[in-house]
Amino acid sequence: MQRRHFLLSTLALALGLSLPVAGRADDKPAVIRIGVASVGTGNRPVFGGSSVALANVKGVLEEEFKADGIKVEWNFFKGAGPAVNEAVANKLIDFAWQGDLPSLIGKAGGLKTRLLIADGTRGNAYLAVPADSTAKSIDDLKGRKVALFKGTNAQLVVAKVLDARGGLSERDFKSINMDGATTQAAIATKDIDAGWFGAEVYGLVDRGIARIVYTTKGQSPNLARQTHFLVTEDFEKKYPQITQRVVTALVKQAAWASDDKNREQVLQQWSKSGVPYSAWKLDYDGTPLRVRLSPLFDDYFVQHYRDALALSKKYKLVRGDVDIDTWLEPKYQRQALRDLKLEGYWPDNDAKGTPKK
């Protein structure tokens, strides 16, 4: 069985995660420790919106390493990306599913990580208000209480959205730092005037609690939320073959999930996170799974991270520097594509997110 930990505080993080395990004579780790910058509704150790999420629910990595006697440990962080950075800094995890901004912050701050695959790209952001609010647009919310989970990939998207509207910023609102679960509760009790959400917003809309006044859905790909799967440099250098097997297993899962004939199964699996099937269906409506679940480091993905770094510096969200080209490690995904005969399976996009001809 999977060994899963839900961590709510630094103390829990220090006590609940396995300490680094020295390599054995056969050069295999005793455990593979994966951090997830998300957690399901009601703190359930499940998430959605990515191929890694499916691998978690289906026990893909557990099956891959069962014969080797290697355990797979999943660690879910309510504190999202910033909490994952803390775990990496303390050498408490080996791999992580995380968003662009927190990973950039961590890398610029000295964390030694390598990006392995894209996973869950082009995510949508939604701004919602209580259902009976008189607000109908972003401008109507100036000077009012707006919740945002700071330090996550949502913060970077919001910064870009506001800047595009005549140079607005968080300072034009009473910006309140809240995690996703707290924001949902605060919208329901009307303790805030608005909040930024992901796909989970549709559950609130269906229940008559919230109303969407803005979304990046259907807009330019440069406004999308981006996530990926990374490895620590220590683990990769010590166990390159294990790293390859992890990536190959995830790419294989991504290929299955990217096939639209499996769409219903994918959305149903994600609904185990507590975000209802109907919400995932609406969020992904009109977008082929092969677009959003591509693991490729194509020109679009690479340019997005270059732009994300530049914009993060502009908005003073990141202060250090990151060499994007050396941070990305594409050799594992390339080998997986060759081994699985998946070269050409996903669209190869240009820097603007358009498939190359």
Question: Using an 8 Å Cβ cutoff, are 144 and 195 in contact?
Answer: no
**Strongest mean pLDDT among 20-24, 243-247, 284-288:** 243-247
Average the pLDDT over 294-316 and give the result.
95
pLDDT for the residue 357: 78
Distance of CA 344 to the CA centre of its chain: 24
Instruction: Specify the pTM.
Output: 0.91
Q: Is the pLDDT of residue 149 over 50?
A: yes
Every domain of the chain and the residues it spans:
31-122+226-339, 126-215
Q: What is the Cα–Cα distance from 87 to 92, expressed in whole angstroms?
A: 5
Q: Is the pLDDT of residue 182 over 70?
A: yes
- The answer to whether the 31-122+226-339 and 126-215 domains have the same CATH topology is yes
Q: What is the Cα–Cα distance from 230 to 232, expressed in whole angstroms?
A: 7
Count CB atoms within 10 A of the CB of residue 212.
15
Please state, rounded to an integer, the average pLDDT across all residues of the chain: 92
Average the pLDDT over 179-188 and give the result.
95
Q: Which own/partner pairs from 231-234 qualify as long-range (CB within 8 Å, at least 24 positions apart)?
A: 231/94, 231/95, 231/113, 231/114, 231/116, 231/329, 232/88, 232/91, 232/93, 232/94, 232/95, 232/112, 232/113, 232/114, 233/112, 233/113, 233/114, 234/20, 234/91, 234/112
Phi, psi of 51 (to 5 degrees): -70, -35
Q: What fold, for 126-215? A: D-Maltodextrin-Binding Protein; domain 2 (3.40.190)
Chain position carrying tokens 């020109």: 299
Question: Using an 8 Å Cβ cutoff, are 221 and 353 in contact?
Answer: yes
In which band, very low, low, confident or very high, does the pLDDT at 63 lie, cut at 50, 70 and 90?
very high
The closest alpha carbon to 149, from 52, 230, 43, 37, belongs to 37
> Helix 331-339 crosses helix 240-258 at what angle (to 10 degrees)?
60
Q: What fold, for 31-122+226-339? A: D-Maltodextrin-Binding Protein; domain 2 (3.40.190)
Q: Which two tokens stand for residue 148?
A: 């945002």
Q: What is the Cα–Cα distance from 196 to 262, expressed in whole angstroms?
A: 29
Q: Which two tokens stand for residue 250?
A: 């995830």
Q: Is the pLDDT of residue 3 over 50?
A: no
The percentage of residues in the chain with a pLDDT greater than 70, rounded to a whole number, is: 93
Q: What is the pLDDT of residues 224-234, one digit of tens each?
A: 999 999 999 99
In which band, very low, low, confident or very high, does the pLDDT at 17 lie, cut at 50, 70 and 90?
low
